[in-house]
Amino acid sequence: MNKKIYTIIIISAVSLGSIWYFSTKSNGQFSNNISTVQEATESQIVELKNGETFDLTASIVKKIIAGSEVKMLAYNGTIPGPIIKVKKGAEITINFTNNTDVPTTVHSHGIRLDNKFDGVPDVTQKEVGVGESFTYKIKFPDEGIYWYHPHVREDYAQELGLYGNYIVTSPEPFYWSEVEREETLFLDDILIENGKVATFSSVADHVLMGRFGNVMLVNGTDKYNLNIKQGERVRFYVTNSANTRVFNFSIPNTRMKLVGGDNGKYEREEWVDSVLLAPSERAVVEIWFDKDGNYPILHTTPNKTYTMGNIKVVSSPVTTSYFLVARTNEDTISSIDPLRQYFDKKADKSLAFTIDMGGMGGGSHMMPDGTTMSNSGMMMGGNDSEKIEWEDNMTMMNSMSYANTVKWKIIDQDTKKENEKIDWKFKVGDKVKIKIFNDPKSMHPMQHPFHIHGQKFLILSTNGVKNTNMVWKDTTLIQKGDTVEIIVNMENLGTWMAHCHIAEHLESGMMFSFKVE
């Protein structure tokens, strides 16, 4: 897709008024003064036993990114936040304190925890104000890689560094294959303008496409380097913490084995060249570095390749490895078996994703090639064949789209209710099949990562093609024009959220709540 510069002609006084309002409020409470704050440090592993308590504090820090010292936010002064390692079945207490400049919460993403500790403002708790504290009790019923992040103004707080991993280990010694080392990787990007993080508005901006960054980050740095020894087998726990960017992750000249996803192991390990990760999705991959040398960490799109970091493999004697065996995971298959009888039933619920841009006012937007985009008609121009928006190619228009003028929608296709008006109710034990359609004829068709709180689900099919290698999930990417069927195992009591995990789309209202009774 060729980059274009769009000349935007907005003839509505309403739109002009909203642009003026937000341009004068662009910084709001988000000060960039970092003269007195500490510099962020690297994340550390914290191993917690059942019953232990951990203090977690979110605060303002500074960090050098792309050669400039910029304001960031951090948990316990590190970006990413502490890697919290616990055993399956453990329960821990987190005493959280908010020393940032905005209200916040802590959402333990993917964990099927008690509802009251899910960290969703106005659903499970009140916002934690600046200077205030909240205590979370978190129980970990499933192995895998999970993460924690805010659920208030994610577009701001998560963009600036508030994210960290949970690694939940299994009591089974060979749950994963044997490796010499484990590494966690957060894939991210950040928007830097004139030596600072691009300003934020009093409500979320960049709502049309989400805020794409122009600097790629691994574990919060644009200079990520990892040194390992030749012959080491390495398990990478990979998380996409970007606001909107989909990553196509690879490490060339290696054999990459995909072994796990959001909530544990795949039915069968498989060899892959790359892994596609939408915002909030996770993958577990294993690589045997049997040759020395430098191995770049890449993000590859149809039109561009980004080098995000480097792995240096130091020459060392290599021993025989059983890495080339791809396992079949009978325990994962057994956990899925009770649901197989429901795979082919008619969908219980049906959703559609679309957008309402009426709040931007009337008028049209002239493109360089003479095509137009009307606020009352379908967006024209661009590459309709691409099902993922890899870049922000409408920078000006995207930056001027706000959460109170652009509304992304989840529509219940049976009741026609939208977003917060959707009021699903289920019973514990229900096996709910949901069909999700991403409308390719909306005013701005694009991909949406769909996340369900408190439960786990399986992807059954995409566009009628059955999934033949399943893993338990909490998030799935619905690409433009796709119809995806999932089945949710409703096991966890409470009122839970479901939403698009593009931070700006969430802020614009692309969410709803459901009850499990």
pLDDT in tens, 105-163: 999 999 999 999 999 999 999 999 999 999 999 999 999 999 999 999 999 999 999 99
pLDDT of 23 over the 90 cut: no
Closest CA to 36 of 66, 65, 71, 76: 71
Tokens of 488: 């949710």
Kindly report the pTM of this predicted structure. 0.91
Say what the pLDDT of residue 385 is: 72
Say what the pLDDT of residue 324 is: 83
Say what the pLDDT of residue 29 is: 56
The secondary structure of residue 177, as a DSSP letter, is P
Say what the pLDDT of residue 358 is: 77
Question: Mean pLDDT across the stretch 371-386?
Answer: 49
3-state class (DSSP) for residue 370 = coil
Say what the pLDDT of residue 380 is: 36
Cβ partners under 8 Å of residue 371, min gap 6? 380, 381
Q: With helix as H, strand as E and coil as C, how does 317-367 read?
A: CCCCCCCCCCCECHHHHHHHHHHHHHCCCCCCEEEEEEEECHHHCCCEEEC
Token look-up 């072994």 returns: 259
Cβ–Cβ < 8 Å for 411, 501: no
Amino acid at the residue 330: E
Say what the pLDDT of residue 361 is: 55
Closest CA to 435 of 497, 326, 343: 343
Question: Mean pLDDT across the stretch 212-236?
Answer: 97
Distance, in Å, from the CA atom of 156 to the CA atom of 203, rounded to the nearest integer, reads 10
Distance, in Å, from the CA atom of 142 to the CA atom of 168, rounded to the nearest integer, reads 7
The residue among 30 and 399 whose pLDDT is bigger is: 399
CA torsion angle 353 359 365 367 (round to 10)? -30
Beta strand 431-438 pairing with 448-452: unpaired
Say what the pLDDT of residue 319 is: 76
| Model confidence pLDDT, tens digit, residues 57-91 | 999 999 999 999 999 999 999 999 999 999 999 99
| Residue 482 pLDDT class (50, 70, 90 cuts) | very high
Report in angstroms the alpha-carbon separations of 70 from 37, 96, 195, 211: 11, 24, 7, 17
pLDDT of 382 over the 90 cut: no
Contacts 24+ apart (CB under 8 A), 420-426: 420/509, 420/511, 420/512, 420/513, 421/512, 422/512, 422/513, 422/514, 423/512, 423/513, 423/514, 424/349, 424/512, 424/514, 424/515, 425/514, 425/515, 425/517, 426/490, 426/514, 426/515, 426/516, 426/517
DSSP run (H or E) holding 13:
helix 13-24
C-alpha distance across the termini of the chain, in Å: 47
Question: Mean pLDDT across the stretch 174-190?
Answer: 96
Q: What domains sit in the chain, N to C, each tagged with a CATH number?
A: 45-169 (2.60.40.420), 181-323 (2.60.40.420), 340-362+380-516 (2.60.40.420)
